[in-house]
Structure 1
Amino acid sequence: MTARMHRLSNGLTVAVEHMAGVETAAVGLYAAVGARSEPDGRTGLAHMVEHMVFKGAASRDARAIAEDIEDVGGSLNAWTARDQTVFNARLLAADLPLGVEIIADLIRAPHFDAAELEREKSVVLAELGEARDTPDDIVFDHLQAAAFPGQSLGRPVLGDETSIAAIDVTALHGWLAGQYRPEALVLAAAGKIDEDAFLRQAEARFGDMAPGSPPSIPSATFTAGVHHDVRRFDQLHLALAFPGVGYLDADVHALGVFAGAAGGGASSRLFQEVREKRGLAYSVYSWNHSYADTGVFGVYLAAARRDGAKALALTREVLARTAEELTDAELQRAKIQAKAGLLMGAESVQARCDNLARGIQIHGRIAPLSESVERFEAVTLAQARRAGAAALAGGEVLATVGGKLATAA
């Protein structure tokens, strides 16, 4: 497998990875903008744009977009995060030009019809209602809001009723014009790729975009806090978080290993202590997520309401003990799990395409998987303990759905 990166004259990055032995391809446009880039009062705008481009673009209406991609057995998808928006297609290799064409049309020639926008607002409001009624989903929005209060990084990706109602066609066009600038975009493809042909397609579809970069993203500061959603559900859903590190921080891999050892699988300390030995939760796991300038290390668990306080206390205890007593065997297990996750996740053309683009957005270059594997393997016991201890000492955020707990650590 070979991966190469190119830049068009306007600053847009094009990346391609040829994979032997496959007959399909994945292509995506990866924008380094998302909900975090939204100005005050515009929460949900990035997500609404992602929805609305599929209502019609260039010569196609919504039905034609769906039919043209499915007529060749392909699929088209998109998603919005706090720091990224992605439009991607999966097709047979011969149909890759169609995928590039449609993706280009979506962001360069959307119809943005006012009547369609009003209908789509109802769809997004239904999506918002579904999220709010899903406690193991909405608890993470509560956690993010408590960790980054009053900051764009703390706002929900979907927005709220007021911000969604305020979105108009002018705002949609303004978002694309201001944020989707070539220097913030990566067009990536992986699979059975003719590199020269793909570069010609990229130049034809994106080469005439006016050069430029999007506005700078506001910085964020992790702040200790609490959010209780006291609506009654069958279980108490709890998320506990501590300050993590940015994805270029020297400790990012060490904290990832610590998170894996603490609660990354059925053999982890949290799973064994909270679920297996005490039976205080059905689901419990930890994670580590990084942004450009900050991050979040956290734990999620779902427990019976009567067991919530005990589960929370035990979780805090287990995390503290892990930072002090993490063993070499646990370290090695977490490192091999991280390595396996990277390599197993990279065996599909879509995963290779995603990894290719994300590596470029983070590092400004193609970052081979072997590099991440080596960095995980290089983490020492002292580094993992230190990274975990630093996170735990940085302040705590607690979010719950289904009840209120005492918050004293």
Structure 2
Amino acid sequence: MVTTYTCENGLRIVSEHIPHFRSVAVGVFVKAGSRDESPEENGITHFIEHMLFKGTEKRTAKQIAREFDRIGGDINAYTSKEYTCYYAKVLDHHAELAVQVIADMFFNSKMDPVEIDKERQVVLEEISMTEDMADDDVHEQLWKVMYPHHSIGAPILGTAETLPRFTREKIAEFMDRFYTPKNTVVSVAGNITPQLIKLIEALFGSFTKKESKKIYVLPDFSAGYSYKNKETEQGHLCLGYPGMSLTDPDIYNLSVLNNLLGGSMSSRLFQEIREERGLAYSIYSYHSAYSDHGTLAIYGGTADEQMPELQEVILQLLKTMRIQGLGTEEVLDSKEQLKGNLMLGLESTSSRMSRNGKQELMLGKHQDYDEIISLIDAVSIEKVESLMDLISGQPAISIIRSKEASS
């Protein structure tokens, strides 16, 4: 059972006791992502994520790493467009140590100017690595096309132009705005103890910062076009369409539609493009849902000379789906697959911790597994087909091809 406790300072602790597991996963979720950045701050949320690993008053960066290596645990973090997460997974008898180290990083990171300068170069290398990987870069370019005038379309990593602006003072000012108690959730799952929850409350439940109300401006979707030349062995194509927010009542209907479209090996895209035509090795679709909007995207990679055919086949397949509709059996199969994926995720303390933390942070509520299964079961072919309009308009398009093929 998932339990939520709100500390006196407004921070929430979400716990799920799973006594038959021997591990504990803990995550600190902060509602601060690249969407919260001004153009001049682009990338600072991700940069802060890096800096929290660079040493505290008590521990050097090396000591933080050794704390987990010597107990066989893992510690990491990631930044998304709407939140940041710092997480660890350890054996249950090391859980208190994991919480203590994460709390030390969260509250006592030194933000040494020398380390800030060094980390700028590290992030620059990360940006370069992403740009070198065309199958990643094509998605990044798609977001810029879809939301050219909104922070949600900006790169999470930032740019070479914005990184030099991240000083110790700028970092502190950003953290004062967003790293606040009511903006933070600590999620823990596994073989937890009452003592562990008390420790989390003692470490996280008393800090105070001025809370500021967050006002999001709804991003306008743009059906634009991006074309990029790059030294690559393969062409890469992304198509983007408007999707749904996390709270949309039709979100599970869209999940089934995405699954049918390109979310599995039996999907329309996979079967037609890879199995029937041999046009691509990698072909799939995915839906990204956020607090007030979402995006449905399709990706395919193929030989440069086959790129026009790949795009035409995808668009024709979407048209056929809209005109001919769906089959009852494939909708039922898609629902069963979604339920299977959900239940298989229950076997990991990390996935339970992550799911609980994100639900509390982004939705402020928790749906139990029986409720979600019921919502998936309630999906009907008529409801799924009613969403076909989402893929009927002009898409945003991002293409990366080799210089040789485009010349």
| TM-score bucket (shorter structure) | over 0.9
> Within the alignment, does 1:290 sit opposite 2:295 as a pair?
no
User: Does the Cα contact within 8 Å between 2:259 and 2:267 map onto a contact in 1?
Assistant: yes
In 1, are the aligned partners of 2:8 and 2:206 still within 8 Å (CA)?
no
Summarize deviations over 1:114-137 as a string: whole Å, max 9, x none. Answer: 011111111110110000000111
Q: What CA deviation, in whole Å up to 9, does each residue of 1:279-307 have, x standing for no partner?
A: 11111111111001110011100011111
Q: Which amino acid aligns with 2:200?
A: A
1:323-402 → structure 2 map (5 Å cutoff) = 323-324=322-323, 325-387=325-387, 389-402=388-401
* Equivalent residue letter for 2:244: V
Partner AA of 1:82 in structure 2:
K
Q: How does 1:203-282 map to 2 (within 5 A)?
A: 203-210=201-208, 212-216=210-214, 217-282=216-281
Answer yes or no: is the 8 Å Cα contact 1:179–1:215 preserved in 2.
no
| Aligned equivalent of 2:124 | 125
Instruction: Give per-residue Cα distances to partners, 1:35-55, cap 9 Å, x unaligned.
Output: 111112111100100001101
Q: How does 1:26-65 map to 2 (within 5 A)?
A: 26-65=25-64
How far apart, in 2, do the equivalents of 1:355 and 1:199 lie?
18
Q: Cα offset for 1:270?
A: 0.7
Q: Which whole-Å CA distance do the structure 1 matches of 2:12 and 2:304 have between them?
A: 50
- Cα drift, residue 381 of structure 1: 0.4
Q: 1:158 to 1:39 in 2, by over 3 A?
A: same
Give the corresponding residue for 2:312: 313
TM-score of the superposed pair, with normalisation by structure 2: 0.95
Q: Do 1:178 and 1:215's aligned partners in 2 also have CA atoms closer than 8 Å?
A: no
Q: CA deviation at 1:231?
A: 1.8
**Counterparts of 2:7 and 2:31, CA distance in 1:** 17
Secondary structure, counterpart of 1:116 in structure 2? helix
Structure 1, residues 89-131: CA drift from partner, whole Å, max 9, x if none? 1111111111111111212111000011111111110110000
Amino acid of the structure 1 residue aligned with 2:152: L
Contact 2:42 2:158 survives alignment (8 Å): yes
Task: State the TM-score, normalizing by the size of structure 1.
Answer: 0.95
Q: Tell me the matched-pair count.
A: 401
Equivalent residue for 1:407?
A: none
* Ranges in structure 1 where 5+ consecutive residues have no aligned partner: 405-409
Quick one: which amino acid aligns to residue 201 of structure 1?
L
Counterpart amino acid of 1:6? Answer: Y
Q: Which amino acid aligns with 1:361?
A: L
Q: Which residue of 2 aligns with 1:150?
A: 149
User: How far apart are the structure 2 equivalents of 1:21 and 1:350?
Assistant: 15
RMSD: 1.4
Does the 8 Å CA contact 2:188/2:353 hold for their aligned counterparts?
Answer: yes
The Cα of 1:403 is off from its aligned counterpart by 5.6
Secondary structure at the residue paired with 1:188? strand
Q: 1:152 to 1:43 in 2, by over 3 A?
A: same
Check the 8 A contact 1:79/1:86 in 2, yes or no.
yes
Q: How many angstroms apart in 1 are the aligned matches of 2:346 and 2:321?
A: 30
Q: Which moved more, 1:113-122 or 1:205-214?
A: 205-214
Change (3 A) 1:135 1:295: same
Aligned-partner Cα distance in 2 for 1:151–1:206: 33
Output the amino acid matched with 1:244: G
State how far apart, in whole Å, the 2-side matches of 1:89 and 1:272 are. Answer: 38
3-state SS of the aligned residue for 2:104? helix
Aligned to 2:111: 112
Unmatched tracts of structure 2, length 5 or more: none
For 1:337, the aligned partner's letter is Q
| Structure 2 letter corresponding to 1:4 | T
Q: 1:202 to 1:319 in 2, by over 3 A?
A: same
Q: Distance in 2 between matches of 1:362 and 1:47?
A: 19
The sequence identity of aligned pairs, in percent, is 29
Could you report, residue by residue, the CA deviation over 1:169-196 in whole angstroms, capped at 9, with x for unpaired residues?
11111121111111111101000011x2
CA distance in 1, matches of 2:210, 2:338: 37
Q: Is the 8 A contact 1:285 1:300 kept in 2?
A: yes
Secondary structure of the corresponding residue to residue 86 of structure 1? strand
Q: CA deviation at 1:211?
A: 5.3
Aligned position for 1:139: 138
Aligned to 1:71: 70
Secondary structure at 2:306 match in 1: helix
